[in-house]
Amino acid sequence: MKFDTPATTNPIDQLKVISQPVDRIDGPLKTTGTARYAYEQHDVAPNAAYGYIVGAAIAKGRITSIDQRAAKAAPGVLGIITAENAGPLGKGKYNTAKLLGGPNVDHYHQAIAVIVAESFEQARAAAQLLQVKYDRGSGRFDLAAEKEKAIKSKPGFGGPPDSAVGDFAGNFAAAPVQFDATYTTLDQSHAMMEPHASIAKWERDKLTVWTSNQMIAWTVGDRAKTLGIPKENVRFISPYIGGGFGGKLSLRADAVLAALAAREVRRPVKVALQRPLVINNTTHRPATIQRIRLGATKDGKLTAIAHESWSGNQPGGDPETAVSQTRLLYAGEHRMTALRLAVLDLPEGNSMRAPGEASGLMALEIAMDEMAEKLGLDPIELRIRNDTQVAPDNPVQPDSGDPESKGPQAKHIPHPPFSQRQLVKCLRLGAERFGWSKRNGKPAQTREGRWLLGMGVAAAFRNNALMKSAARVRLHNHGTVTVETDMTDIGTGSYTIIAQTAAEMMGVPLKQVVVKLGDSDFPDRVARGDNLAATTPPPASTPRA
């Protein structure tokens, strides 16, 4: 299909279904308790055993011995998996830490064993009988202590580690008003309502995992790489997720150990991470140290902006991308940003709800408020005066693709404009609605008993990451439309939004659309029995409008 002519009126522009208030399609299932999450898929894996993960009791060092005798003799125990009998394990692209430790321990609560038993209670009781001896090692846990050893990170989700436009140092030194401050943020952990949980089942050499995971395609590939099996032999299914927030983007220990345990005991196994292991065995938002320098004219025009951030991670990990939004939020002709990464022996640092922005915007917006106070300028007015309609951090680039050019320096591309940016409008409307003009602009002046009261303002920026996506749409002879895609619904309404889109585009009522999500069989390949599917209504458990 080629799109080589200008688009005119599109069916979706009619807004007959899109933008209309409708009930959430998955609402009845979730409110009645019939929406089945990963650990609750009882019928798909009958006779499932239960796994209980044992986490390392030290933060760094080596396991010298594991005495399994008492645990193996405990009632109901079917097997114990450790690094000794798990076989060779690879490491996926999207996780930094090893998902099964031993003999080396990389961080506290790293999974080092899983006990498999007939019941959860038996597995948990047997886990207490496992006798693990360690040789404790010295670790690196303090970001401030390791800051001077931090190195330039590799390019990643937040872009290159460094950026520079103009001459920051010279213009900051010459700025009539200067601001220089360092801010710190602490480590933060996820605690989503549904823990990381998986059920694994082998059928000969093919593995199916019902799991709680946000990115099915990523995880299928990493699972295949970890176990050393063909990607086509792995299927992941995740129709509902009870909260993810970035902590379920990648393969985690529950899914790996459930698969290893199921292979060992030759029956399906279900594993759910205990709450302490969700905190320490999965991913978290790393602590940061951030230095922000602002140079401005006396009337509040920023001329120089610098934002440097230090964070820590396991070896080979990525930094917290705290400077990303500073590259695009405010104007300023001379600017620089830098990310530095220290190696720390803490649980893996990775995506957590607005990675980079949550830490970085906090520091940047406090700096803007403090600069406004130093200038004697209203904080909203300072932000308005430094609005920009073009990407300020994009240096002018040569256009070497111009056939008329005589070389790479013949033509230059200007800073790209934002497709739409209404920050000033938002700030002014907010000021009007919240009664900003009535506030006392001097800090710490308004009290209510022992409480200090104030009104503040902050801007926010969330850059967009575009990735390829696909879906398969089926038009059935009984009048329904089925949409299949391996994307997941983490509670944001994907079932309903996709159904509305399909109904609008296909010209059918919303009640005739069926949405199927969270299966690695969608839409990569056509499943067997499609002819049957075309004439058979979907099962009642499928979310339907």
CATH number at residue 503: 3.30.365.10
Q: Are residues 18 and 78 in the same domain?
A: no
Domain boundary among 235, 266, 281: 281
- Report if residue 121 sits inside a domain: yes
Q: Are residues 231 and 276 in the same domain?
A: yes
> pLDDT higher for 529 or 364?
364
Kindly state the tokens that stand for 161: 């580690």
- Report if residue 505 sits inside a domain: yes
Tell me: pLDDT of 268 over 90.
yes
- Report if residue 321 sits inside a domain: no
Q: How confident is the model at residue 11 (pLDDT cuts 50, 70, 90)?
A: confident
Are 501 and 20 a contacting pair, CB within 8 Å? no
What type of residue sits at position 396? Answer: V
Tell me: pLDDT of 396 over 70.
no
Q: Are residues 15 and 75 in the same domain?
A: no
Alpha-carbon distance 261 to 90, whole Å? Answer: 17
Q: Which residue has the tokens 């927030």?
A: 245
Alpha-carbon distance 371 to 364, whole Å? Answer: 10
Please tell me the chain's helix, strand, coil percentages from 3-state DSSP, rounded to the nearest 5. 25, 25, 50
Q: Are residues 75 and 16 in the same domain?
A: no
Which backbone phi and psi does 272 adopt, to 5 degrees?
A: -125, 130
pLDDT attached to residue 4:
76
Tell me: pLDDT of 529 over 90.
no
- Report if residue 175 sits inside a domain: no
Q: Are residues 123 and 49 in the same domain?
A: yes
Q: Which residue has the tokens 């009791």?
A: 57
Are 74 and 139 a contacting pair, CB within 8 Å? no
Q: Are residues 15 and 51 in the same domain?
A: no
What's the pLDDT tens digit per position in 276-335? 999 999 999 999 999 999 999 999 999 999 999 999 999 999 999 999 999 999 999 999
Q: How confident is the model at residue 336 (pLDDT cuts 50, 70, 90)?
A: very high
Q: How confident is the model at residue 457 (pLDDT cuts 50, 70, 90)?
A: very high
- Report if residue 496 sits inside a domain: yes
pLDDT attached to residue 264:
98
What's the pLDDT tens digit per position in 485-502? 999 998 889 999 999 999
User: For the residues 366-392, what does the mean pLDDT come to?
Assistant: 97
Give the mean pLDDT of the chain.
91
pLDDT attached to residue 532:
31
Kindly state the tokens that stand for 488: 């997941």
Alpha-carbon distance 116 to 72, whole Å? Answer: 10
- Report if residue 48 sits inside a domain: yes
Q: Are residues 99 and 17 in the same domain?
A: no
Q: Are residues 16 and 93 in the same domain?
A: no
pLDDT winner (highest mean) among 339-343, 416-420, 473-477:
339-343
Identify the domain containing residue 516 by its residue range.
11-22+468-533
pLDDT attached to residue 2:
67
Q: Are residues 227 and 116 in the same domain?
A: yes
Q: Are residues 97 and 126 in the same domain?
A: yes
User: For the residues 394-416, what does the mean pLDDT come to?
Assistant: 49
- Report if residue 72 sits inside a domain: yes
Domain boundary among 229, 253, 281: 281
What type of residue sits at position 12? Answer: I
How many structural domains is the chain composed of? Answer: 2
